[in-house]
Amino acid sequence: MSKQLTNIETYAGLLKGLKAEITQGQILAQRAAEKEKAIAYWNIGDMIDRHVLKNKKRAGYGEMLYERLGKDIQIDRRTLLRTVKFRNTFKKGEISAKLSWSHYKELIAVKDDRKRKSLINRAVREEWRINELRNAIRRERLETEYNPSDAGIERIAFRRGTIYLYRIKEPGFLHDVIGMAVIDCGFNNWKVGSREEMENFHKGDLVETKKTASGYIIRKSDETSHSLYTYRAFAERVVDGDTILANIDIGFGIWSRHHLRLRGLDAPDIKTPEGKASRRYLQKILIKVPYLVVKTYGRDLYGRRLTDIFYGEEGMEPEETAKKGTYLNQQMLDSGHGRIML
Whether residue 18 is predicted with pLDDT greater than 90 in this model: the reply is no
More confident residue, 69 or 230: 230
| pLDDT recorded at residue 67 | 78
Question: Between residues 153 and 100, which one has the greater pLDDT?
Answer: 100
Q: How far apart are CA 11 and CA 18, in angstroms?
A: 10
Name, in order, each residue with C-beta under 8 angstroms of 257's C-beta and a sequence gap of 6 or more. 236, 245, 246, 247, 248
Angle at CA of residue 238, ends 237 and 240, nearest 5°: 150
| 146 pLDDT more than 60 | no
Helix ranges (H only) for 146-218 are: 195-198
Q: Is the pLDDT of residue 245 over 70?
A: yes
Question: Exposed, middle or buried: residue 37 (CB in 10 Å: 0-12, 13-18, 19+)?
Answer: middle
Mean pLDDT estimate for the chain: 83
Provide the residue type at 220 as one letter.
K
CA distances from 179 to 48, 168, 175, 213, 229 (A): 48, 12, 9, 30, 24
Residues linked to residue 128 through DSSP beta bridges, in sequence order: none
C-beta of residue 261 within 8 angstroms of C-beta of residue 305: yes
At residue 152 the predicted structure's pLDDT band, cuts being 50, 70 and 90, is low
Residue 308 has pLDDT above 80, yes or no: yes
Confidence of residue 2 (pLDDT cuts 50, 70, 90): very low
Local confidence band at 147 (pLDDT 50, 70, 90 cut-offs): very low
Q: Which residue type occupies 118?
A: S
Q: Comparing C-alpha atoms, which of 159, 69, 119 is closest to residue 104?
A: 119
- In this prediction, residues 128-139 reach a mean pLDDT of 79
C-beta of residue 204 within 8 angstroms of C-beta of residue 167: yes
Whether residue 148 is predicted with pLDDT greater than 50 in this model: the reply is no
What is the mean pLDDT of the segment spanning 166-173? Answer: 80
Say yes or no to pLDDT of 280 above 80: yes
pLDDT above 50 for 34: yes
Under the banding of pLDDT at 50, 70 and 90, the label for residue 100 is: confident
The pLDDT confidence band at residue 165, using thresholds 50, 70 and 90, is very high
> What is the predicted pLDDT for the residue at 276?
94
The whole-number pLDDT of residue 60 equals 64
> What pLDDT was estimated at residue 142?
53
Amino acid at the residue 162: T
Please list the residues that pair with 216 across neighbouring strands.
211
Residue-wise DSSP of 218-250? EEE----GGG-SEEEEEEEEEEETTEEEEEEEE
Q: Which residue has the higher pLDDT, 189 or 58?
A: 189
pTM: 0.57
* Residue 6 confidence (pLDDT) above 60: no
Residues 171, 174, 178, 182, CA torsion sign: negative
Report percent pLDDT > 70 for the chain: 83
Residue 84 DSSP class: H
